[in-house]
Amino acid sequence: MTHIAPDGSVHMVDVGAKPPTQRVAIAEATVQLSAAALRALQAGTIAKGDALTTAQIAGIAAAKRTSDLIPLCHPLQLTHVDVSLNIAPPRSVLIRCEVACLGPTGVEMEALTGVAVAALTLYDMCKAVDRRATIQRMQLVEKRGGKSGVFKRRRG
């Protein structure tokens, strides 16, 4: 338990002595929508505006602010954040966030935060049409770099 001090209190792990390495993490989530919400999304008629672009920007901004949201995360100088939203049949949007940095600790939380906030933003943009929309399968799908090496989630 690296975040627990000997006295039982929590603390942020000191990564100052760790050598910087290239770190990459990819996270995904799916937002399930009603047929009406998906049609409105595709037609660009969501009342709040361009939902896909707004969610993309929100995800990028969130990945950059992860240490402000998750108490024990280190502030990292990210070198890359890419958030994509793609309509996936029959009625969902697949959100993917890829984050990279050259640093002493991983970027998994940044990728997960980016995809989570993009999904929440998409829900917010679409809720007037579909309050039953659901956010599903938010997960880390890949990470590279650091002492633990490569992680790749198997599909299926």
CA separation for the pair 55, 62 (Å, rounded): 10
Please tell me the predicted confidence (pLDDT) of residue 156. Answer: 63
As a CATH number, domain 29-145 is: 3.30.70.640
Amino acid 82 reads D
Residue 24: pLDDT band by 50, 70, 90 thresholds?
A: very high
CA separation for the pair 75, 70 (Å, rounded): 10
Q: Over the stretch 58-84, which tens digit does the pLDDT of each residue have?
A: 999 999 999 999 999 999 999 999 999
Domain residue spans in the chain?
29-145
Determine phi and psi for 153, rounding to 5 degrees.
Answer: -75, 135
Q: Over the stretch 91-110, which tens digit does the pLDDT of each residue have?
A: 999 999 999 999 999 999 99
**Cα torsion angle, 99, 140, 88, 60, sign:** negative
Residues classed as catalytic: 124
CA separation for the pair 133, 150 (Å, rounded): 33
